[in-house]
Amino acid sequence: MNSSIISLSKKAISLLGIALLWQLVAMQMDPFVLPGPLETMCTVLSYFGDPEFYYAVYRTLLKLLIGMVCVLLLGGCLGCCLDFIRVGSLIWNQSSI
């Protein structure tokens, strides 16, 4: 139990350190190029109230699913074809012996 608290606190300290470094760098740059972490979090949270955000997520996941199915089918077909060719060549070579 104590080690999990220590591990969690180390992760929190690391996250705060990264956010602090991000904020320091963002203060030196144009906000258009690198906005700060608070501005970024506010913008991200505002997306959750927008229905277009959910539609964009839906479309992205749909394209991902379609792509994965296509790759699965193409890879499976190519694997079967290559195995068929390999088995055919083994049978053909054995019949000539």
Separation of CA 51 from chain center: 22
For 55-78, letters b (16+ CB in 10 Å) and e give eeeeeeeeeeeeeeeeeeeeeeee
Q: Report pLDDT for 94.
A: 67
The whole-number average pLDDT for the span 18-31 is: 94
Q: Report pLDDT for 19.
A: 95
2 has a pLDDT exceeding 80 = no
Q: Report pLDDT for 87.
A: 74
Higher pLDDT, 95 or 51: 51
The one-letter amino acid at 41:
M
HSE-CB for 36 with a 13 A CA cutoff: 7
In which band, very low, low, confident or very high, does the pLDDT at 93 lie, cut at 50, 70 and 90? confident
47 has a pLDDT exceeding 80 = yes
Q: Report pLDDT for 83.
A: 85
Q: Report pLDDT for 64.
A: 98
